[in-house]
A = this chain, B = another copy of it.
């Protein structure tokens, strides 16, 4: 725990270097968690990707759970970025399609991980509450998009809750089968998902 909030480090350069390393660890963890899940991933797995012993990780994170927590945080930041981008668009269909495309992209490119797909139950109660709350905010935002679209006559009346679960389920599941070297390219995937998942909501 001491490593986290230590006295100010000497120089900005050193501080930046440390930050870079933290990010490297985070991404290695992201990748591993995505593939094998949190519990099946050992600290050795993560360390090995970085060519380092697992004890080195403790210089950057107090424990394994903290790494998972950081993964969640980083992912949720990404999702909020997406929401902000979506708000600039005009129609509900555009907004929803954008969110789906971008969320898929986050799953495949940026984070090589799955924002909402990580096991939240492995977190300590406080952190769990925080992450779940943030996740709920995201889900609520999507629901409101759908409700808005229905109100505007763009979408046919649907249960927004179910619709959002279906959309997020489809997206989160990507973590289970997507492999960067596979035949399916990320961009098309997002576009097709958007078409398919929004298509089921539009008025005939």
Q: Which residues of A contact B (CB under 8 A)?
A: 35-37, 39-40, 119, 121-122, 158-159, 161-163, 165-174, 176-177, 184, 188-189, 192-193, 195-201, 204
A201 and B165 CA atoms in complex are apart in Å by 18
- A200 contacts B204, CB within 8 Å? no
18 pairs from A and B in contact (CB 8 Å cutoff): A36-B121, A37-B39, A37-B119, A40-B119, A40-B122, A158-B195, A159-B188, A162-B184, A162-B188, A162-B189, A163-B196, A166-B196, A169-B173, A169-B176, A172-B173, A196-B200, A198-B200, A204-B204
Please, which residues of chain B bring their CB within 8 A of the CB of A174?
165, 169
- A193 contacts B162, CB within 8 Å? yes
- A192 contacts B40, CB within 8 Å? no
Please, which residues of chain B bring their CB within 8 A of the CB of A121?
35-36, 40
**Which of B36, B166, B184 touches A193 (beta carbons < 8 Å)?**
B166
> Given A170-B169, A200-B197, do A162 and B192 touch, yes or no (CB 8 Å)?
yes
Distance between A108 CB and nearest chain B CB, rounded to angstroms: 12
> Given A40-B121, A119-B40, A121-B40, do A177 and B200 touch, yes or no (CB 8 Å)?
no
Closest residue of chain B to A192 (Cβ to Cβ) is B162
A187 and B161 CA atoms in complex are apart in Å by 15
- A168 contacts B162, CB within 8 Å? no
Please, which residues of chain B bring their CB within 8 A of the CB of A193?
162, 166
Closest residue of chain B to A172 (Cβ to Cβ) is B173
Distance between A64 CB and nearest chain B CB, rounded to angstroms: 13
Please, which residues of chain B bring their CB within 8 A of the CB of A171?
169
Please, which residues of chain B bring their CB within 8 A of the CB of A189?
162
A161 and B185 CA atoms in complex are apart in Å by 12
